[in-house]
Amino acid sequence: MNTMNAPCELVLVNTPADLPEALRDAALAHLATVTRRTADDLAALWSHPRPVLARTADRAEALRLQQDIRRAGWHSELREAAPPVVRPAAVAAPERVCPACTHTNAPLARFCGDCGAALPALPVRAPSQHDSDHDDALGATARSVAGLAGLPAVRGFSIGALFDEVFKRRTPAEIEDHLMAGTLRTTPLVTDVSCDWPRPWMFARLFLLSAFLFVMFWAGYRYFANDNLVPGTMVIGSFVVPMTVVLLFYELNAPRNVSLLLVAKLVLLGGAWSLVISLVLFKLGKDVSSLIGASAAGLIEETGKLAAVVFATRSLSSVRYRYTLNGLLFGAAVGAGFAAFESAGYAFVQLVKGGFGAMDNIILLRGGLSPFGHVVWTAITAGALWRVKGALSYHGTLLAERRFLGLFVTAVVCHAIWNAPFSIGPGLTKYVLLGVVAWMIALSLVQDGLGQVRREQQSVGTPTA
């Protein structure tokens, strides 16, 4: 094969999507001159973290163009072009005619592009007998919860799928690749990602490893009575479950555009900021706390955590991190930091008051319940905000959107009931039920986020299964 005539493409590494707006126009104009493309044509590429500038079968021409791009101040990467993907022919959906003005619209349009009138709802496929056979109580409950939250019912999801890949053998290189996603160099094009339900596996391995370390510290203290093992028991016990849930959301983030370094920053800095902001709000709202008691934490802490998410991500590119799935991950990270720091605080207080046994009990209780609490609540509120924000910058009117307010209030109510001084059934039944409701909503948001990615793929004409 003649490599000089092999198809290749130039990929821009340092995309201007993160440049200040004052510099972006000049950068586009300069690059457009070099690549002989219009600035508008290039601007349409910035939604991709690694936009393809040119494709050619002449490698020598590609090398010359790469030199020109370097002289213009940019860094590009030359790679072999992927062979065209042969997809089965799809049955084209019929175009939609507006009943008000007879204007012809795209098959999936919801509003007329000429007069703006709402188009009739698309027909919904009638459920088959196979669907009806699986319409169990859990599925009906999930649809009810999602409907009340204004979200579509979860379909195609299986709890078993969360664990299918956990014990599959993987090479060290595969594990490294899995954990290195999200940088400018390792983020895939949106057209290359799958919109099927992800099959995570690393989160369960992290839990097993962290649980082993916790047991090792715990057993070491019990056997040797060495106080130096207490801090390790406290820290690992407080962080193990929240971080496991964060890694689950990291693996559910289909665009693979968020790095673990950014996640770690949000856990530590966002978690600390959320605690401080919540304490300030508690001080300002002490009258509310005295009036309704512990349930006031629902409104105060959810507001504080969401404010921390916004503050911690204020400098990030709103174009690069435009997905609902990104918001879910950002919220989960801040919520995990809040939960872990709070659990460590409670554990320390119990250690001082009641010794190692009391600390041990509070760590196990809060660790067991943490998947149902702060992590998923903050994931819901941040995911709801990203759902209405998309690629827009932050502005106050987003908080007045019904699609955001409904989900934010749902998280606040779940938190308030969690703290309320009454029980539902025996033991921890109340907390488990609230957790199930929260996770049904979170999974509905994940499904909505996968749909967002699928629609973006369809907009560029290359849908991925």
- Asked whether 51 and 15 are in contact (CB, 8 A), the reply is yes
- Asked whether 314 and 389 are in contact (CB, 8 A), the reply is no
Which pLDDT does position 146 carry in this prediction? 66
Looking at residue 228, the DSSP 8-state letter turns out to be G
For 85-130, the DSSP string reads P--PPPPPPPPEE-TTT--EE-TT-SB-TTT-PBPPPPPPPPPPHH
For 126-166, the DSSP string reads PPPHHHHHT--HHHHHHHHHHHHTT-PPP-S--GGGGTTTT
Q: Residue 50: name the closest of 6, 11, 97, 82 by CA.
A: 11
Tell me which residue has tokens 């299986």: 158
Which pLDDT does position 89 carry in this prediction? 43
Residues in contact with 405: Cβ distance below 8 Å, sequence separation at least 6, in sequence order: 399
Which pLDDT does position 86 carry in this prediction? 46
Which pLDDT does position 463 carry in this prediction? 47
Q: How many CA atoms does the CB half-sphere of 197 hold within 13 Å?
A: 17
Which pLDDT does position 131 carry in this prediction? 43
52 CB-contact burial (10 Å; exposed 0-12 / middle 13-18 / buried 19+): middle
Q: Which domains does the chain have, with CATH numbers?
A: 3-80 (3.30.1390.10), 161-459 (no CATH)
From start to end of 327-452, where are the E strands? none
| Blockwise average pLDDT, block size 10, the chain, 465 residues | 59 58 58 61 58 68 72 67 49 64 63 59 48 50 64 83 89 92 91 91 96 97 95 97 98 97 98 97 86 91 98 94 97 98 97 95 96 98 96 89 94 97 92 96 96 88 51
